[in-house]
Structure 1
Amino acid sequence: MVQYIFRRILIAIPVLFGVTIFNFLIINLAPGNPVDMYVSPDVSVADIEIKKEALGLNDPIYIQYWHWLGNLLKGDFGFSYSTYEPVTNMIIERLGPTLILMGSALIIAYLIAIPIGILSATKQYSWIDYFTTTFSFLGVSIPHFFMGLGAIYVFAIMTQILPTGGMNTLGGNGGLTDTLLHLIMPAIVLGTGIAGSMVRYVRSSMIEVLGQDYLRTARAKGLGEFIVTNKHALRNALIPIITIIGLDIPLLIGGAVVTEQIFQWPGLGQLTIQSIGSRDYSVLMAINLLAAFMVLFSNLLTDILYSVADPRIKYN
């Protein structure tokens, strides 16, 4: 296992290098540049050219890439073109709220999806199965922005139970209770959407396992249905479920762009929207690279969890 992990890390290095190339090219080949945001009647063409020269935007793109890559290898993501803050500081400041929101949403999704998926599989073709199937379709079909706006209207405007958005109340103490109140709506909106798709995977995986001969043997030995289902069947159904969880892990970093914007949650998703609007290339490249790293990490973690869930899986 240790040798396998080491090889996977070695393979990830050239993959990340390729990601830096495509990341830089795609963003820098987009129409416009950061200096276009400064265009106004008070700014002359000469001033714009001086600004481009100062930012290195007049250099050939391969020169710009080598400068950016050299700084990246030193742990320096550069500075923001719009706020002139170090990109590293901006990422760290927004990373915490995104981890809180996405972590809460994923926990809510799994707490909903796994029990409901198991129940739907054990009650196949019953009214419970049809009800849970309808729930999963609704969770997948309803867009997050529509569900978010509806939640704001019902719980923040009509009943005024929850705040409309943000992470803390303006002028408040910013305590844990205040943060939790602001977290409830965006976390549930995101968690419901993720749970909707995951219910189907859990149900399908459990149905396939529940028909196996070894479970009939376990029942014949007198084991209770709860132990048969939740101990023996669930563990053998975990492989597809782990795959889906591995695909969800990068969401912890990438955030939910639409949901964070609707609820004004100060995470990486909202920072992404702001950076796109201001053509802040250095921030966008840092976020994309961080997301790519998280994808590679989640793939490795998924492979490790396969062997934990099923001891028959061995990596040579």
Structure 2
Amino acid sequence: MFQYIIRRLLIAIPVLLGVTIFNFFIINLAPGNPVDMFVNPNMSAADILAKKEALGLNDPLWEQYGRWMGSMLQGDFGYSFATYEPVLDNIAARIGPTLLLMGTALIIAYLIAIPVGILSATKQYSFIDYLTTTFSFFGISIPNFFLGLGAIYVFGIVFPIFPTGGMTTLGSSGGFVDTFMHLVLPAMVLGTAIAGSMVRYVRSSMLEVLGQDYLRTARAKGLREFFVNNKHALRNALIPIVTIIGLEIPLLIGGAVVTEQIFQWPGLGQLTIQSIGSRDYPMLMALNFIAAFTVLFSNLLTDLMYSVVDPRIKYN
């Protein structure tokens, strides 16, 4: 197991290197540059050139990348072109709200999807199955921005129950209750979208297992249907489900760009939009690097979880 982990970590190094090279050149090939955000009628052409020189934008791209890589290897992601603050400080201030929002949304999604998917599989072709299938298609088909705007209209305007923007009420000291009220709408919107696809995976995985001979044996021994479905069948249906859960882990860091923007949630998703608008190259590079690292880590964690779910799987 240890050798397998070391081997996967070594493979991840060139992958991360390739991702950073690709991202760096793609970001720099986009129209415009950070200096365009500072241009005003009082700036002369000489001032613009001096600003580019100060930011190192006149250097060749390979030189800029080498400078960024050298700093990154020392744990320094540079300074934001937009705020002139350390990049890591900006990310550290945003990662907490993103983890809170995405963690809550994933918990909501799994609490809905796993029992609903099991129920749909055990009641195949019944009214309940058709109802859960409709819910699944509803969650998959409706875009997050449309569902978010609908939630704002219903629960923020027609029935003003929940706040519709930010993480705390302006002018207040915040607190658990205030944060919870702001969290409800974006978490439910994201949780519904994730649960919609998860229900289909849980249902299909359970259907593959429910017809197996060992379940007939368990029923013949007199085990209650609840234990047959939720202990024996679910355990063997977990491998495809674990794969899907592993693919959702990067959302904890990457955030939900659209949903965070709609609800003005101060997370990494909103920071990504702001950084794109301001051509903040150091911030975008750091966000992309963290996202790539999280994807690779979640893939490794998913592979290791296979051996926990299914003892027959061994990594030598």
TM-score range, shorter chain: over 0.9
1:166-220: CA deviations, max 9, x gaps?
A: 0000011210110000000000000000000010000000000001111111111
| Pairing 1:281–2:281 present | yes
Gaps of 5+ in 1: none
| Pairing 1:229–2:229 present | yes
Give the Cα separation in 2 of the matches to 1:95 and 1:310.
33
Q: Which amino acid aligns with 1:268?
A: L
TM-score w.r.t. structure 2 length? Answer: 0.99
Give the Cα separation in 2 of the matches to 1:12 and 1:223.
46
Give the Cα separation in 2 of the matches to 1:15 and 1:276.
24
Give the Cα separation in 1 of the matches to 2:17 and 2:276.
23
What is the Cα deviation at residue 36 of structure 1? Answer: 1.0
User: How many residues align structurally?
Assistant: 316
Give the Cα separation in 2 of the matches to 1:96 and 1:17.
27
Residue pairs, 1:56-135, within 5 angstroms: 56-135=56-135
For the residue of structure 1 that corresponds to 2:208, the secondary structure is: helix
Counterpart of 2:184 in structure 1 is: 184
Give the Cα separation in 1 of the matches to 2:180 and 2:188.
12
For the residue of structure 1 that corresponds to 2:108, the secondary structure is: helix
1:229-255: CA deviations, max 9, x gaps?
A: 000000100000000001100000110
Gaps of 5+ in 2: none
Residue pairs, 1:1-316, within 5 angstroms: 1-316=1-316
Q: Which amino acid aligns with 1:177?
A: V
Give the Cα separation in 2 of the matches to 1:121 and 1:41.
66
1:59-113: CA deviations, max 9, x gaps?
A: 0000000000000001011111111011000000000000000000000000000
Q: Quote the sequence identity (%).
A: 78
Give me the CA root mean square deviation: 0.6
Give the Cα separation in 2 of the matches to 1:235 and 1:6.
28
Q: Which amino acid aligns with 1:11?
A: I
Give the Cα separation in 1 of the matches to 2:129 and 2:224.
22
Give the Cα separation in 1 of the matches to 2:266 and 2:257.
11
1:279-304: CA deviations, max 9, x gaps?
A: 11111111011000000000000001
TM-score w.r.t. structure 1 length? Answer: 0.99
